[in-house]
Structure 1
Amino acid sequence: MNMNLSKRQRNTTIKPFLTLLKETKPSYGLLALAISLSMISTLVGLVIPMFTKSLVDGFSIASISGIQIAEIAGAFIAQTIAGGISIYLLNYVGQKMVAGLRDRLWRKFLVLPVSYYNDNRTGESVSRMTNDTGVLKSLVSEHIASLFTGVISIIGSISVLLYLNWKMTLVLFTVLPLSALILVPLGRQMYKISKGMQDETASFTATLSGVLSEIRLVKSSGAEESEYEAGKSGIMNLLSFGIREGKINAMISPLVSFVFMMLLVVIIGYGGMQVSAGVLTAGELVAFILYLINIVMPLTQLTTFFTQLQKAKGASERIIETLAAEEEKYEGEDKVDGIENAISVEGVTFGYKNGENVLIDVSFKMLPGGVTAIVGPSGGGKTTLFSLLERFYEPVSGEIKLGEHPISTLSLKSWRRQIGYVSQESPLLAGTIAENLGYGLEREVSRDEIRNAAKMAYADGFIEELPEGYNTDVGERGVKLSGGQRQRIAIARALLRNPAILMLDEATSSLDSQSEAVVQKALSNLMEGRTTVVIAHRLSTVVNADQIIFMEKGRITGMGRHEELLESHELYRKFATQQLQMSAPEVNSSSEGEGDRKVYDNNTGGGRRPAYPRIGGSVPES
């Protein structure tokens, strides 16, 4: 049963490649022209042995007229030109095909949901875009013509040989099938090895991408040696596959050479006897040998073609699998008004793939322009709730509504356009500050708008002090800037988006006191007049929120104002007592605390840690 299954799988693996070839819509006219020119070049090559036969059998150069010489020269020139044009056209079609395929993959990667990237490493996706598409390009541009020309050369040569001497031709058929019996199993082995190598290459690429993108973590953790060992393991696995592939190639090439030499010895020996007996002329024997070359050389090319086809099968399967992955649903109603409508979370339950539910029957309502804080122990589901609000995932049950409309019925693009998100990390892309500020905006942003947004985010000061100002390169993931600077750029970016809904993932928790004070002022400007939801790890930052939601193990266990929860919720009261007492020395203790207090006094008008403001938008006085 396993053998039958394996056979069926081998028989069907060519379909993904043909499907991809069809879907990329290559220029079939150019492809046909290129193959036709290759075939013409091959047909011209079939005439050469007959011309050689005539010369050997006593046909002298002196007897050839100028017109015949011109025709022969023209044939050679035509063969050369046709071959060159064919190679160029095949390369052109292959490059266009791979460009179209990469374009489809790139578009697909951008519309795949976040859940896809939870299950697939980035390096594997990069490998799909580069290595696998390169394999397909190589097959089309370098090897596909050999399939047609090889078949024509073999059939044409055998036909002429049967005409010259059918007995000697039958000798060939006793040897060629034997070589096929050896080469076909080797081709199957090559398919398995090639598929394994492509998987290992994708895994190795993923390892490299992950380590190099987090090189600072690697170095700060002293993990160079362990990462070296992990990378070395991938390198050795690739080496193993490469050696196995080399073994197959080492068997194929000598076998082809052995078959050719064996045929050559048989033909020369048997043909020499025929020439001695007067049955065969010397010219016919030379022609026979040349046609034998015209058979063996294309056989080598066909072997290479089928080897490359095995690689293309594996690449096609992975690309087809990626292209078939479920996309985010972008269609829906475009008229989204997040300014005047409340956001309702109604009975939402959610769990990640093959896992327990992270959110269980969560329900609450956020009024327009209000501030809702979500607090609670780690692992309570706060970040997951944010992901659902941004529609990175869909609830298992329940729904989230904007006014009376479930957000699942709204256009994904228009819904996300309503949201401004500022996280702890404030990720930036490699590029200039100006490019990061205008990132994702569909409209052109003037330099004045950028400056105004930076001013409101209290980022204009440090930006203008940089040597290149707004044209300063921030480095990969913004590593050339401090945490507070990245936060202020993220806030300025959110201001430029002018969102109706603001999501803050404790945007100040990782900052020092001075940076935090400045960022808090910037957040005050950003939050004004917007519906705001805040993930708060420190209760001291949200005591003045319009409502505080306390989450434990995916459930809401308390909801209300700070004062209400202090009275009604025991765990919240415990959290508040611990945290507010811990924060008190920052304000009241000696030298360091006084320094912090001066910062807050100078920047927020208060002597305590600034809290996220209520609807008015200004940081409350103490």
Structure 2
Amino acid sequence: MTTTKKEELRGKSNWRGFVRLLLQTNPPKLVLGIALGLSVISTLVGLVIPLFTKNVVDSFSIDSLNWLQISGMAIAFVASAVASGVSVYLLNLAGQRVVAGIRDRLWKKLLVLPVSYYDNHQTGDTISRMTNDTAVIKGLIAEHMSGFITGIIAIIGSIVVLLYMDWKMTLIMFSVFPLAFIILFPLGRQMFKVSKGLQAETANFTSVLNRVLSEIRLVKAANAEPVEYKEGSTGIQKLFKFGLKEGRIQALMAPLVTFVMLMLFVVLFGYGGMRVSSGAISAGQLVAFMLYLFQIVMPITQITQFFNQAQKAMGATDTILNVLDYEEENPHAGAAVTNASQSLQFDRVTYGYKEGEPVLKNVSFTMEAGKVTAIVGPSGSGKTTMFSLLERFYSPQKGAITLGVEGIDQFSLISWRSQIGYVSQESPLIAGTIRDNICYGLQHEITMEELKKASQMAYADAFIEELPQKYDTEVGERGIKLSGGQRQRIAIARALLRDPKILMLDEATSSLDSKSEVVVQQALQNLMQGRTTLVIAHRLSTVVDADQIIFLDKGVVTGSGTHQQLLESHEMYREFATQQLQLQEQMVAEHAPSAL
């Protein structure tokens, strides 16, 4: 089925989807019922007022003033205003609860979506679903739903009374409405298309903002401000054009509605005046007729606004349901890991991000429990993909990864991932305190003693104790207030506190200066003791100490063994070792004291 056909089917069913989305949030039905009931009461009171006016006009004189009648009208006005005010508040309350429910479902869903979803969707788009699209739905419920329902009641009630009062004038009045519908319906269709385009472009612009502002240091370091300004400016211009299109449609709709209504008033005043002069109707009836006409015209405006907002809400519903209907991870499905201290095996594993383009091809090797396995190979050979498969961010397209004799996909995600500690070259930190980052993800309370022990083993306690707020020191966005070595040691402390049985290290010292490297290397030795460790190796020191080395080239295992075995049997590994040895000798020469 083509994308266009899918969109057409979605468009036909989006009202059904909208209702489903609302019902799934368990809206406050009692509050909505009371609010709409009060709106109906306010509308019905409004329908009675023109009849009061008719009687007053027809029998108007100082002597004939009925103070009871006037008091009744005043009470009706006040009751209508109070009911309307309470209704608006309750509808707003219901709208806020509904949008909170949708946002809660979206947030829960976003946290259990697989990594592959985020590979294919920009962060700004996802943020737009959570903020902009839910706000559109809230606007429909809180601001326009009441006007739509009461408008329908007001129109039907007014028509019934008008037909009773003078059916000829009523038919003349309604002869204009088909003309208005023929003019306004195509404009409404155009408004729907523009609204969907505007929402999509808003999401794209949000993505640009999120990407640029989250990496503002890279932007400045690369002197990329003009490039990013141009891209952002393009987005602004697209939003401007959509805004202009929306404005043009509204500019056509408003005068057309006004023109139709004015024409209607002129016709009715002329024809009504003739009927009053001939005695067919009274002056009070003509006044009441015009008041009822207002009660038809005003709701038509509200109903038009409702449908405009509804078109936007349908577009928002589509994008929200696309997220909510996406296949998610179930972190609790599967068995708990009872013994993670077993060998891990890749058995003929093949995986590619795109179909027909495998990154790993028929990869097989075994990581012995408690031993260190180093992965060596040129950039782009699939080393990081191997880590992602172990974390179960993705599943092998062929083959299997086993722990002992069981496939790792048999274990629950929450249990499996709790067995893994991962330290990368650029260990991510969250905005918060050092304590928040070390304890991140742990569900149980961590004592200060446990916190300090993990920090000591990670050689992080020395610099933490020197900070003014110690463990309560804010690290800034992505840990920007700390040095690379400090960030790495906090990441190692975090891994130690989790006490994982399986370690994945993306050569966590490769981007550090020599002083920081020594400290972090010592911390990593503490972390690796007694654990099954897989290391992406960039340096010879890591490779020499490994129990097993796997050489990966273009997704294929081309050699495995110890450092000495590969040095003798594998040409590409020998080149790698020779380059690393020359690099080390060069660094030693640069740091050696100058001869006198």
What does residue 396 of structure 1 align with? 397
What does residue 604 of structure 1 align with? none
What does residue 14 of structure 2 align with? 13
Does 2:79 match 1:78?
Answer: yes
* Secondary structure at 1:25 match in 2: coil
Letter in 2 for 1:275: V
What does residue 548 of structure 2 align with? 547
Deviates more, 1:333-342 or 1:264-273: 333-342
Distance 1:340 1:354, change over 3 A: closer
Distance 1:133 1:62, change over 3 A: farther
Matches of 2:62 and 2:489, distance apart in 1: 87
1:563-602 pair list within 5 angstroms: 563-589=564-590, 591=592
What does residue 378 of structure 1 align with? 379
After superposition, give the CA deviation of every residue in 1:2-23 in whole Å (9 maximum; x if it has no partner). 9999876643332221221121
What does residue 501 of structure 1 align with? 502
1:509-524 pair list within 5 angstroms: 509-524=510-525
CA deviation after TM superposition for structure 1 residue 277, in Å? 1.1
What does residue 477 of structure 1 align with? 478
Q: Which runs of 5+ in 2 are unaligned?
A: none
Q: TM-score, normalised by structure 2?
A: 0.97
Deviates more, 1:231-240 or 1:443-452: 443-452
What does residue 620 of structure 1 align with? none
Distance 1:507 1:77, change over 3 A: same
What does residue 443 of structure 1 align with? 444
CA deviation after TM superposition for structure 1 residue 70, in Å? 4.1
Matches of 2:126 and 2:138, distance apart in 1: 18
1:522-541 pair list within 5 angstroms: 522-541=523-542
Distance 1:2 1:457, change over 3 A: closer
What does residue 490 of structure 1 align with? 491
Letter in 2 for 1:451: K
Letter in 1 for 2:539: R
Matches of 1:403 and 1:592, distance apart in 2: 52
Matches of 2:85 and 2:271, distance apart in 1: 38
Identical aligned residues as a percent = 60
Letter in 1 for 2:558: T
Letter in 1 for 2:367: M
Counterpart contact for 1:123–1:205, Cα < 8 Å? yes
Deviates more, 1:230-239 or 1:578-587: 578-587
What does residue 283 of structure 2 align with? 282
Distance 1:590 1:180, change over 3 A: closer
What does residue 193 of structure 1 align with? 194
Matches of 1:101 and 1:381, distance apart in 2: 39
Counterpart contact for 2:335–2:410, Cα < 8 Å? no
CA deviation after TM superposition for structure 1 residue 71, in Å? 3.2
1:114-153 pair list within 5 angstroms: 114-153=115-154
* Secondary structure at 1:548 match in 2: strand
CA deviation after TM superposition for structure 1 residue 578, in Å? 1.5
Matches of 1:5 and 1:360, distance apart in 2: 35
Matches of 1:376 and 1:235, distance apart in 2: 44
* Secondary structure at 2:409 match in 1: helix
What does residue 326 of structure 1 align with? 327
CA deviation after TM superposition for structure 1 residue 591, in Å? 3.5
Counterpart contact for 2:52–2:73, Cα < 8 Å? no
Letter in 2 for 1:97: V
After superposition, give the CA deviation of every residue in 1:566-590 in whole Å (9 maximum; x if it has no partner). 0111110111111112212323555
Does 2:191 match 1:174?
Answer: no
Letter in 2 for 1:175: V
What does residue 342 of structure 2 align with? 341
Distance 1:592 1:241, change over 3 A: farther
Counterpart contact for 2:374–2:542, Cα < 8 Å? no
Matches of 1:538 and 1:510, distance apart in 2: 11
Deviates more, 1:27-36 or 1:133-142: 27-36
CA deviation after TM superposition for structure 1 residue 334, in Å? 4.0
Deviates more, 1:541-550 or 1:410-419: 541-550
* Secondary structure at 1:346 match in 2: strand
Letter in 2 for 1:301: Q
Letter in 2 for 1:470: Y
CA deviation after TM superposition for structure 1 residue 449, in Å? 1.3
Matches of 1:206 and 1:22, distance apart in 2: 30
After superposition, give the CA deviation of every residue in 1:106-144 in whole Å (9 maximum; x if it has no partner). 011000111100000000000000000000000011111
Counterpart contact for 2:374–2:535, Cα < 8 Å? yes
CA deviation after TM superposition for structure 1 residue 416, in Å? 0.3
Letter in 1 for 2:549: I
Distance 1:348 1:38, change over 3 A: same
* Secondary structure at 2:54 match in 1: helix
Letter in 2 for 1:342: S
Counterpart contact for 2:39–2:83, Cα < 8 Å? yes
After superposition, give the CA deviation of every residue in 1:193-246 in whole Å (9 maximum; x if it has no partner). 000000000000001000100000000000001100000000000000001001
Does 2:250 match 1:252?
Answer: no
Provide the alpha-carbon RMSD of the alignment.
1.9
Matches of 1:353 and 1:268, distance apart in 2: 71
Deviates more, 1:535-544 or 1:465-474: 535-544
Matches of 1:315 and 1:101, distance apart in 2: 12
What does residue 212 of structure 2 align with? 211
CA deviation after TM superposition for structure 1 residue 466, in Å? 1.3
Matches of 1:6 and 1:205, distance apart in 2: 23
Distance 1:395 1:549, change over 3 A: same
What does residue 106 of structure 1 align with? 107
After superposition, give the CA deviation of every residue in 1:299-337 in whole Å (9 maximum; x if it has no partner). 000000000000011000000011011112323444314
* Secondary structure at 1:542 match in 2: helix
After superposition, give the CA deviation of every residue in 1:357-384 in whole Å (9 maximum; x if it has no partner). 0011111111111000001001110000
CA deviation after TM superposition for structure 1 residue 276, in Å? 1.2
Does 2:43 match 1:42?
Answer: yes
Matches of 1:544 and 1:563, distance apart in 2: 11
Matches of 2:12 and 2:574, distance apart in 1: 67
What does residue 618 of structure 1 align with? none
Matches of 2:429 and 2:55, distance apart in 1: 75
CA deviation after TM superposition for structure 1 residue 555, in Å? 0.7
CA deviation after TM superposition for structure 1 residue 32, in Å? 1.9
What does residue 22 of structure 1 align with? 23
* Secondary structure at 1:13 match in 2: helix
Matches of 1:339 and 1:10, distance apart in 2: 50
Counterpart contact for 1:586–1:593, Cα < 8 Å? no
Letter in 2 for 1:446: T
Counterpart contact for 1:424–1:510, Cα < 8 Å? yes
Deviates more, 1:480-489 or 1:270-279: 270-279
Matches of 1:8 and 1:433, distance apart in 2: 51
Matches of 1:493 and 1:424, distance apart in 2: 15
What does residue 57 of structure 2 align with? 56
Does 2:236 match 1:235?
Answer: yes
* Secondary structure at 2:151 match in 1: helix
Matches of 1:12 and 1:99, distance apart in 2: 24
Letter in 2 for 1:442: Q
* Secondary structure at 1:347 match in 2: strand
CA deviation after TM superposition for structure 1 residue 27, in Å? 1.8
Letter in 2 for 1:205: T
Counterpart contact for 2:10–2:318, Cα < 8 Å? no
1:290-329 pair list within 5 angstroms: 290-329=291-330
Matches of 1:280 and 1:67, distance apart in 2: 26
Matches of 2:502 and 2:324, distance apart in 1: 33
Deviates more, 1:18-27 or 1:108-117: 18-27
After superposition, give the CA deviation of every residue in 1:463-504 in whole Å (9 maximum; x if it has no partner). 111121111110000011110010000000101111111110
* Secondary structure at 2:176 match in 1: helix
CA deviation after TM superposition for structure 1 residue 60, in Å? 4.7
Distance 1:6 1:588, change over 3 A: closer
Counterpart contact for 1:587–1:593, Cα < 8 Å? no
Q: Which runs of 5+ in 1 are unaligned?
A: 595-622
Matches of 1:185 and 1:306, distance apart in 2: 13
Aligned length: 594
Matches of 2:475 and 2:293, distance apart in 1: 65
